[in-house]
A = this chain, B = another copy of it.
Amino acid sequence: MRHTYREIDACGVKVALKLLAGKWTPIIFYHLGAGPLRFTELWHEIPRVSKKVLVVQLRQLEEAGLVARSVHNGFPPEVSYQLTPKGAGLVPIMQSLDQWAMTHITEAVHIA
């Protein structure tokens, strides 16, 4: 069953919001938005996250088609992550959200 365009509009936004809702998603996007990173580089950029949790979050983003994982053979093998075109399309939107928050959300600078 197809719905009216109004429902579709609101629904697309909801699907997009849901994809971004992971606890570490914004900061992962922030760092991968600048280019591909090895797993350990990304992990070092993100404070207070365990490797295990970061792997799980990255896997979810990979399953959503937002992030691509590459394994580079070698010893030890290296794993790197980068945004897919689908994921990269969200970077300017994240930046707009950040800009909006900077203007309107004063408490954003006081998180624990």
Contact = CB atoms under 8 A, between A and B. Distances in A.
Interface of A: 1-3, 6-17, 20-21, 26-27, 30-31, 45, 47, 65, 86, 89-90, 92-94, 96-98, 100-105, 107-109, 111-112
A1 B14 CA distance: 34
A27 B6 contact: yes
12 contacts: A1-B112, A6-B45, A7-B27, A9-B26, A10-B26, A10-B27, A11-B101, A11-B109, A12-B97, A12-B101, A16-B105, A86-B104
B7 A102 contact: no
A16 to B, nearest CB: 4
Nearest to A5: B109
